[in-house]
Amino acid sequence: MIKCTKVIQTVKTSEGLLTILKGIDMEIKQGESVAIVGASGSGKSTLLGMLAGLDTPSSGEIYLRGKEITQLNEEQRTQVRGELTAFVFQNFHLLDGLTALENVMLPLEVKGVADARANAKEVLARVGLQGREHHYPRQLSGGEQQRVAIARAFAAKAPILFADEPTGNLDTKTGETIADLIFELNSESNTTLVLVTHEQRLAERCDRQLIMEAGNFIGANA
């Protein structure tokens, strides 16, 4: 489902070249949930962006469902992301000028889904936002905004979900509720889940934990 081979990422700094990822090798199976954990600066969010096709590595290969994505141009990677992936971010990434319903509908309409409105309303109800569909992000709490983001991700029915600190901006109780929702929907849809988190309780709910330090994996917990 997801595979990367010898992935290296270097960036230029005022002090010279900095290697952020140091030859990453990994494989994630269909339907598996994997947490990438490690201290700030370990490279985990950079790796997630590479796996999701948001950026390209300096060298190495990344495969999503057998498709090698590192040699694709931006337009081609955008197409692959639209077909295969969905995202949940720490900062929600909702469009302020759209209602909750419209935020969920947007990627469905881009994909040409005929009944985008009905699908979006159904998923919003599933995440507990029935009656809040026509509220704008500024009218919703942080937890409600993340519910919209989760609804948007799962409405697309993508086979792979990437989540970057999905509970990072939420209080403990709300974070636990959001985590429950992610894992419930993930189980129902047999989505492959790859998440980055600092929260050990969230990581422990995944099938595997991959531990990063200084740009490479130093261990794994199952």
- Alpha carbon distance 147, 30 (integer Å): 24
Among residues 30, 27, 46, the alpha carbon closest in space to that of 192 is found at: 30
Please report the pLDDT score of residue 93 as a whole number: 92
**Residue 51, CB half-sphere, CA atoms under 13 Å: how many?**
32
Indicate the domain borders of the chain.
Answer: 29-56+73-221
C-beta separation of 166 from 182 below 8 A: yes
Nearest alpha-carbon partner for 104 in 146, 144, 143, 155: 155
φ, ψ of residue 75 to 5 degrees: the values are -65, -40
Please tell me the predicted confidence (pLDDT) of residue 132. 95
State how beta strands 33-38 and 192-196 pair.
parallel
Alpha-carbon distance of 149 to 91, in angstroms, equals 10
What mean pLDDT comes out for the span 214-218?
Answer: 93
Region 14-33: mean pLDDT is 94
> Residue 152 pLDDT more than 80?
yes
Contact 11, 171 (CB under 8 A): no
Residue pair 84/159 in contact by the 8 Å Cβ criterion:
yes
Q: How confident is the model at residue 222 (pLDDT cuts 50, 70, 90)?
A: low
- DSSP string of 131-147? T-TT--GGGS-HHHHHH
Model confidence band, residue 221 (pLDDT cutoffs 50, 70, 90): confident
Three-class SS state of 203: helix
pTM exceeding the 0.85 threshold for the entire prediction: yes
Under 8 Å CB-to-CB from 57, ≥6 apart: which residues? 7, 8, 9, 21, 50, 70
pLDDT band at 18 (very low <50, low <70, confident <90, very high): very high
**What are the angstrom distances between the C-alpha of 50 and each of 9, 81, 104, 208, 222?**
9, 12, 25, 19, 23
Give dist(CA 52, CA 86) in Å, integer: 9
pLDDT digits (tens, 9 = 90+) for 92-145: 999 999 999 999 999 999 888 989 999 999 999 999 999 999 999 999 999 999
* Three-class DSSP category at 57: coil
Mean pLDDT (the chain, rounded): 93
pLDDT at 169: 87
Q: Using one digit for the tens of pLDDT, what is the confidence trace for 35-78? A: 999 998 899 999 999 999 999 999 999 999 999 999 999 999 99
Q: Does the structure show a pLDDT above 70 at 161?
A: yes
Read off the pLDDT band of 219 (50, 70, 90). Answer: confident
CATH topology (fold) of 29-56+73-221: Rossmann fold (3.40.50)
Task: Check: CB of residue 166 under 8 Å from CB of residue 88.
Answer: yes
Beta bridge partners of 19: 10
pLDDT-derived band at 156, boundaries 50, 70, 90 = confident
